[in-house]
Structure 1
């Protein structure tokens, strides 16, 4: 049986351990985010801000810089969150250290008094006399039990002191590490903040250079969006034709909104769906410059940019890979546009746009990670792959499907 003091100590240690583990999990999650943003900044500098990109248009430079500023702001925020969490952990540890020191002092005082008392009556003769002076066997047995319990209690008190001393040492070690980690995070954030200030000044300078003729730049952005919308409409028309054809072959209504699947196609579709969030990137190195959905233009916030997929900035002549096994449904050649590859995976379709080279043809079977083409690089040195995922004729957010996108 545990005495009250031991029970309280174990309860406190258990609650403390649970709290430390919870905070540790939060720190690990924040650290993973911080490393992700740091890696993204490295990729941005390499892919969007290298010396080879000096011929870029002002619009592209502003777009790239706006993206970089957002990533750096995210890095500053997550680093601040880490530092604040460390501050709370440091305060909690300092409070626990103070409490433990008081408990330890009390325990040592009680233990000292117990040892003195025990020493005064420790002789074997005293214990024997204590037992022999019993009035009957029952009393002698109780006195024997008392001697044993007193000895056990002394040992428990010694173990309590040892446990609290070790806990105190661990907390002091953690405190030193936490303060060092916090100082490092604060120092890193100062550097990051200075970089952000430089980038914001550069962004303002670039915006100043186009502000006098903003309407002209806005018109160009709208025209580009119209061209993207035209290609999107053509892709959706082709997908709907493929759906109608699959239903015609299966003897079903051609007005159906979903593919008619063969047993083999059903298996591929199920396998594709089971890999949601785990599919590989379609390029080896890249950053998502334009995300899925509708967003404001960094040049003119009144202009909206719509994206049925993601646009990935990558390196020159980057090889494009199939994200899953499937069949080449079509290689699309649209006027005033670079080649587009459409791969079918049951009732799912992946689309790879803005290619300079295509290594496969319609009807080919492709494997996961098979190279199917190369990304086109424009005159400004920008290599951008537009990547989309459709379920039947409805576009889905690729970030929900691609690993860590």
Structure 2
């Protein structure tokens, strides 16, 4: 019974270890990806730093570096917590295995002593012949045979437990070393983060000396963003109005057809359907008026938190909501401003239909409809889809353009439910 309890305990331990290992592997992959992105940003920053004229591009790279380093520190903290759990679990396992090993050795020593006292063939025969009847003699004979087999099996258990104990001790040592390495890496990242923030302060100070040119760059950026947001808002409003007119016309046509059938059958026409679209219907009802649109809305909502990013690789420059420019001006963002590679493919975050393609400030904006949800992709150099086209998840819509104001290849992304902009953070998966 003790042996089976031990086996059950080990199965539970291995299951927990597997869960930790999977999570640790994901965190490690994320840390390596952050390292690659930081290396790329470092190379780009060195290129811009060689130019004596400080630009917003330098500042944007520094912001991206700071964001990535902060994310990496958080990632390392999660790895350390995982390792702490694994170390604690391994310590418990080592103690349990040591206790089992001591008990197995104690039991085995008792069996060896018993075998030694009864090692002669004479004693064994006397043990059998002393039985009261034939059945008891037979059981005693089988007992002696099974006792030898059990002793061999017990020796095997001892060897197996010793091997498991050795493996767990090695794993424990490895986890402790890995934890120490991570903590050292974390301290290094904190130092680099401090240096990056100091450099950022210096760059902002240098930028302030070029106030005229920099302020013009900032005004150009804000103007482009404002123009893009107006274009997106107007396009969505038009889509809702078109959907409303189509739904109302469909409802009226169905009502006329129903009235004609009732007249032909000499009966009173049925009352209008409660789901029929009228002027008082909400935008959500209008956009979900068809079964296809309702299905797409539900599928889109069902993938909340798992949608892919609009670019395969990118760093967030501005998130959703209020942010402050280098010159101290507070601005509002309706979505994500993402820094990516030049000419990077921009892709759909979910299946849907292309409803608008607009030229805004010399760059393209593509708007997709996903039932009652809309996504927009702005600052595209080129577009590879057309209005009315159905697209699939991760299908390329176009390529990222370089912002002439900052010299950065950027993509603006928004996500809205009807006319209400949503924070992409709660919809997109971790990049």
SS state of the match for residue 195, structure 1? helix
Bigger shift: 125-134 or 35-44?
Answer: 35-44
Match of 2:274 in 1: none
Partner of 1:349: 374
- Residue of structure 1 in register with 2:324 after alignment: 297
2-side partners of 1:97 and 1:39: how far apart?
38
Superposition deviation, residue 121 in structure 1: 1.4
Kept in 1, the 8 Å contact 2:293–2:371? The answer is yes
Equivalent residues in 2 for 1:328-367 (5 A)?
A: 328-334=354-360, 338-358=363-383, 363-367=387-391
Mapped contact 1:244–1:254 kept (Cα < 8 A): no
* Distance in structure 2 (CA, Å) of the matches to 1:54 and 1:327: 45
The CA deviation string for residues 64-98 of structure 1, in whole angstroms up to 9 with x for no partner, is 31332232123134324434543554465356446
CA distance in 2, matches of 1:78, 1:276: 22
- Output the CA distance in 2 between the equivalents of 1:58 and 1:137: 102
Segments of 5+ residues of structure 1 without an aligned counterpart are none
Structure 2 residue 45 is matched with structure 1 residue 49: yes
Aligned pair in 2 of structure 1 residues 99, 215: CA closer, same or farther (>3 Å)? Answer: farther
- 1:386: Cα distance to partner? 0.7
Conserved 8 A contact 1:316-1:381: no
Distance 1:24 1:309 in 2: 35
Match of 2:409 in 1: 383
| Cα contact 1:317–1:377 (8 A) shared by 2 | no
Instruction: Give, in angstroms, the shift of residue 276 of structure 1.
Output: 4.8
2:333 is equivalent to residue 307 of structure 1: yes
Is the CA contact (8 Å cut-off) linking 1:65 and 1:203 kept in structure 2?
yes
Partner of 1:398: 424
> Counterpart in 1 of 2:90?
93
2:343–2:409 contact (8 Å) kept in structure 1: yes
TM-score calculated relative to the size of structure 2: 0.74
Give the RMSD, CA atoms, in angstroms: 4.0
Whether the aligned pair in 1 keeps the contact of 2:54 and 2:207 (CA below 8 Å) is no
Aligned equivalent of 2:192? 195
Partner SS state of residue 385, structure 1? strand
CA distance in 1, matches of 2:132, 2:420: 94
CA contact (8 A) 1:248 1:254 kept: no
CA shift for structure 1 position 382: 0.9
Partner deviation per Cα, 1:10-54 (whole Å, 9 max, x = no partner): 3443443344344434433432442343344245446x6362686
* Structure with the larger RCO, 1 or 2 (CA within 8 Å, 6+ apart): 1
**May I ask how many residue pairs the two structures share in their alignment?**
397
C-alpha change, 1:325 and 1:52, in structure 2 (3 Å) is farther
SS at match of 1:354: strand
Structure 1 residues 222, 130: CA separation in 2 closer, same or farther (over 3 Å shift)? same
Per the TM alignment, residue 342 of structure 1 is displaced from its structure 2 partner at its CA by 2.2
- Does structure 2 conserve the Cα–Cα contact (< 8 Å) formed by 1:57 and 1:380? no
Once the two structures are overlaid, the 10-residue window that deviates more, 204-213 or 306-315, is 204-213
Seen in structure 2, the aligned counterparts of structure 1 residues 305 and 53 have a Cα distance that, compared at 3 Å, is farther
CA offsets, 1:255-284, max 9 Å, x none?
Answer: 642444445555555555555555554345
Structure-2 change in CA distance of 1:52 and 1:319 (3 Å): farther
- Matching residue of 1:17: 14
Residues 320-353 of structure 1 deviation map (CA, whole Å, 9 limit, x = unaligned): 344455444233345x564423233443322122
| Alignment partner, residue 167 of structure 2 | 170
Contact 2:400 2:410 in 1 (8 A): no
- Structure 1: distance between partners of 2:27 and 2:61: 25
The answer on whether the counterparts of 2:363 and 2:401 sit within 8 Å (CA) in structure 1 is no
Shift of the 285–157 alpha-carbon distance from structure 1 to 2, 3 Å rule, reads: closer
